[in-house]
Structure 1
Amino acid sequence: MSTMIRNEPGQNRYTIALDDQVAGFADYRLEGSRIVFTRTEVDPRRRKAGLAGALVEYALDDVRTSSALTVVPQCTFVAHFIDAHPDYQELVDRG
């Protein structure tokens, strides 16, 4: 089974696909120098596979390496992920 994660800036979302079928997404909106993650969703049949964590990790790594944006974790899953992985705290603007 092949997994592909990518940013789809035209749709303001990161997606994760398994064998070319989208299994989940993380929506965001850009607000100046901030990226606000608003919602993360994974197909209920695939929730135990760790896809949401892999998706959010990819998105945060992408923000870190390809921009100077500050992350606003409005989505509770993204907020919990960052809380559980302190190496992402430097990206966060919780204000």
Structure 2
Amino acid sequence: MSLQEKFDQAAANVKNLKALPTDAQLLNLYAHFKQATVGDADPANRPGLLDLKGKAKFDAWHKLAGTSKEDAQKAYIEIVEGLIASIGLKE
């Protein structure tokens, strides 16, 4: 199975977790997913002052600037595997 196929499977598995991950875990997932699929975040697109959730997501993603697509995919897969081990998947 290729890295892209493993990444796609991990993305599908996230939707089938038994419970919702913590906010910190969700931010980490989001950041790695965006880095793997879009690349570096553009600072010009940072959400406005009142969009706290959007800013948190953007900032988490922006911290991964310079991370390669492959490294972001590998990290995302590892995060998802850890969540599956701790939370489990729906039957």
Task: Please state which structure has a larger fraction of its residues in strand.
Answer: 1
Higher relative contact order, chain-length normalized (CA < 8 Å, sep 6+): 2
TM normalised by structure 1 equals 0.30
Task: Please state which structure has a larger fraction of its residues in helix.
Answer: 2
